[in-house]
Structure 1
């Protein structure tokens, strides 16, 4: 009888040891799977955030360039029209275009980085300087009969060159930021 009890005890202990070992292996396997799933979920979350950030930046940069184009069209209109010191038709459109550039600039400031902010500030300053130059030139006496472009051809060409250079500098600053993220 003692042999039967010993066999039963050994059998039950080995069954309990096997069950404990199976439970331990299962728990370790589950832990490893959960850790892997957590790592995958974190990576996906980081990728989604990076993609969203890139989209926001791209939208801010494109919006800024679009607002600049609209302002440039208004500035071009002023270079081509006859004028003097009187308010010109389209003044409200020019003001609205300049405000749109300011608003787009604010988005670029929020999205960064610093090198893009600096270039966007230079574009904004360039647009403001050209507008101030036009106003100053338009207030000259006796100039109401000829467009500013004809009266101040060198200034007009310099303004066009400044626009082009500022725009290229901005785009050159933006490309590496978007390439780095993409």
Structure 2
């Protein structure tokens, strides 16, 4: 009878040990699967945030360039319009376009990074400087009638070159960021 009890005990303990081992292996396997699923979910969330950040940046950069184009068109019109008088003080079309560039720059500033914001600031400064030059040149005493472009050809060419260089620098900074992030 003792042999029967011993065999029964050994069988029971073996069964319990096998069940515990199976449970342990199952628990470890489940833990590993859950850890992997959490890692994948974390990577997907990071990718979604990165994609959204890139979309917001791209929208801000394109909006800024669009506002610059509008300001450049307005500045160009002022260079070629005939007339020697300074535009009336206050809120004219070119000033409105320049303010739109400033507002678009705020989005660039928020979206960053720093090198793009600095390049955008440089573009904004060149637009503001060109506008101020036009107002100053148009308001000079004894200014003749005729386009500013004809009366101040060197300044006009310098302004066009400056805006082109600043814009190219901004686009290069944007491309570097979007290529790095992409």
TM range (shorter): over 0.9
Matched, 1:13 2:16: no
Structure 1 residues 26 and 86, CA, compared in 2 at 3 Å: closer, same or farther?
closer
Residue of structure 2 in register with 1:101 after alignment: 101
Rounded to whole Å, the distance in 1 between the matches of 2:93 and 2:130 is 16
Q: Deviations over 1:105-140 (max 9, x none)?
A: 111111112211111111111000000000001112
Instruction: Give me the whole-angstrom Cα distance separating, in 1, the residues matched to 2:145 and 2:92.
Output: 22
Distance 1:63 1:78, change over 3 A: same
Equivalent residue runs for 1:1-182 within 5 Å:
1-83=1-83, 84-87=85-88, 92-143=92-143, 145-182=145-182
**Over aligned residues, Cα RMSD in angstroms?**
1.5
Q: Does the 8 Å CA contact 1:54/1:178 hold for their aligned counterparts?
A: yes
Does the Cα contact within 8 Å between 1:82 and 1:144 map onto a contact in 2? no
Contact 2:74-2:97 at 8 Å conserved across structures: yes
Contact 2:57 2:111 in 1 (8 A): yes
Offset of residue 142 of structure 1: 4.1
SS at match of 1:145: coil
Mapped contact 2:82–2:147 kept (Cα < 8 A): yes
Aligned length: 180
The CA distance in 2 between the partners of 1:132 and 1:105, in whole Å, is: 19
Partner Cα distance (1:39, 1:49) in 2: 15
- After TM superposition, the structure 1 stretch with the greater mean CA deviation from structure 2, 10-19 or 24-33, is 10-19
Question: 3-state SS of the aligned residue for 1:140?
Answer: coil
State the TM-score, normalizing by the size of structure 2.
Answer: 0.93
Range with bigger deviation, 91-100 or 6-15: 91-100
Which runs of at least 4 in structure 1 moved beyond 3 Å after TM superposition?
Answer: 141-144
Contact 1:74 1:93 in 2 (8 A): yes
In structure 2, what is the Cα distance between the partners aligned to 1:31 and 1:60?
43
CA distance in 2, matches of 1:17, 1:173: 65
